[in-house]
């Protein structure tokens, strides 16, 4: 059985099937009306998932997405939330700081991290029942320079990634301002190592390559082989460098796909969208733009979000045209038969999880 969770702006799609070879998918909507930002789950505990929202905090399911309950996190709000873009503009009341990033540790599904706006990181060791703030992040020297352009008076944690070889090593992408990591569970923090990106959108690691780290950022792509301590910027052939989502082939850490656009407006806004998907076959290879392979790209298509089940070559991808699947790491794509009403073609997906 495979279950895909698609986080859209105002709903979560819970989509189970008999497996990736099956054409029988069921689509159920959850959390309608909430402003979703992110979703996470762990293959070791597929019945459990966590969803972060802009104005309602965190929600958790322990029954495979059948029901969700709001968690009492203590992420106290500092004032009314300013909303923007496809959120409709204006302000909104909220009970929690916006939860912009969430991840479940690959070492222990009871360990969950959440990142908020403004940039704070919290950890739960009991699956979300209680939370502790990891102090020190905002004490970093560059913190005064961090800002999110649509809301320049603030900034947020856009991505959290736990190192698959070290449960205490956590990578943090700040939008916008810095790549940050802690090697010791939050006791100390290190910022802006040589070659790292500033406007980080997503990070990825690989279970077969210790130290390998991938970054998709608004200021380009970068890659590390030493756990984020130094970076190289391999961008030959990458014509669109406002990068959003990155995924390595589970079967080969040197094969990578990234979604990108020319800038923020053509990445996120459906009426102006023009986004693309690129693939790299090896560390020294140039990036190749994937076109005409079954995955919509180009004019009218917002930036794609990727997820993988961990099976070599298998990647799910979602954009405003629907959910798609490749079994050969991008050579060909097929549309997944979930419900996708026309109204969703004006929406920009927020997150994607694929559980085997």
Parts of the chain with a pLDDT under 50: 79-91
**What is the pLDDT, as a whole number, of residue 76?**
72
Please count the other Cβ atoms lying within 10 Å of the Cβ belonging to residue 7.
Answer: 25
Select from 148, 71, 72, 149 the least CA-distant residue to 117: 148
The DSSP letter of residue 264 is H
3-class DSSP state of 325:
strand
Select from 344, 338, 351, 339 the least CA-distant residue to 321: 344
**What is the pLDDT, as a whole number, of residue 356?**
87
Give CA separation, 141 vs 159, 169, 189, 201, in Å.
20, 21, 11, 21
**What is the pLDDT, as a whole number, of residue 86?**
46
Select from 238, 185, 244, 242 the least CA-distant residue to 214: 244
**What is the pLDDT, as a whole number, of residue 90?**
45
Select from 168, 179, 173, 135 the least CA-distant residue to 156: 173
Contact between residue 227 and residue 211 where contact means Cβ atoms under 8 Å apart = yes
Contact between residue 14 and residue 47 where contact means Cβ atoms under 8 Å apart = no
**What is the pLDDT, as a whole number, of residue 20?**
66
């Amino acid at each position: 059985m495979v279950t895909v969770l698609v986080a859209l702006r105002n709903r979560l799609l819970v989509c189970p099937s008999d497996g990736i070879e099956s054409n029988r998918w069921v689509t159920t909507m959850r959390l309608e009306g909430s402003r979703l930002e992110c979703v996470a789950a762990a293959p070791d505990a597929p019945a459990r998932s966590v969803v972060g929202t802009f104005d309602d905090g965190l929600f958790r399911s322990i029954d495979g997405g059948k029901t969700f309950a709001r968690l009492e996190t203590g992420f106290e709000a500092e004032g009314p939330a300013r909303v923007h873009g496809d959120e409709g503009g204006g302000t909104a009341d909220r009970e929690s700081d916006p939860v912009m990033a969430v991840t479940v540790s690959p070492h222990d599904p009871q360990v969950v991290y959440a990142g908020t706006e403004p940039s704070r990181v919290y950890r739960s060791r009991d699956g979300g029942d209680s939370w502790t703030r990891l102090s020190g992040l905002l004490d970093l020297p560059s913190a005064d320079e961090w800002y999110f352009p649509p809301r320049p008076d603030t900034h947020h944690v856009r991505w959290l990634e736990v190192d698959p070889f070290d449960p205490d090593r956590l990578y943090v992408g700040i939008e916008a301002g810095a790549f940050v990591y802690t090697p010791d569970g939050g006791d100390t923090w290190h910022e802006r190592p040589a070659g790292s990106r500033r406007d980080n959108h997503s990070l990825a690691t690989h279970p077969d390559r210790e130290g390998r780290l991938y970054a998709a950022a608004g200021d380009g792509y970068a890659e590390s082989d030493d756990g984020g301590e130094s970076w190289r910027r391999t961008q030959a052939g990458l014509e669109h460098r406002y990068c959003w989502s990155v995924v390595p082939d589970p079967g080969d850490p040197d094969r990578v796909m990234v979604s990108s656009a020319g800038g923020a407006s053509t990445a996120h806004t459906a009426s102006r969208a023009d986004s693309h998907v690129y693939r790299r076959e090896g560390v020294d290879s140039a990036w190749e733009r994937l076109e005409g392979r079954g995955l919509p790209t180009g004019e009218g298509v917002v930036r794609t979000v990727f997820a993988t089940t961990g099976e070599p070559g298998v990647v799910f991808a979602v954009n405003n045209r629907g959910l798609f699947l490749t079994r050969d790491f991008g050579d060909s794509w097929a549309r997944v038969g979930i419900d996708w009403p026309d109204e969703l073609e004006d929406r920009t997906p927020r997150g994607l999880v694929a559980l085997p």
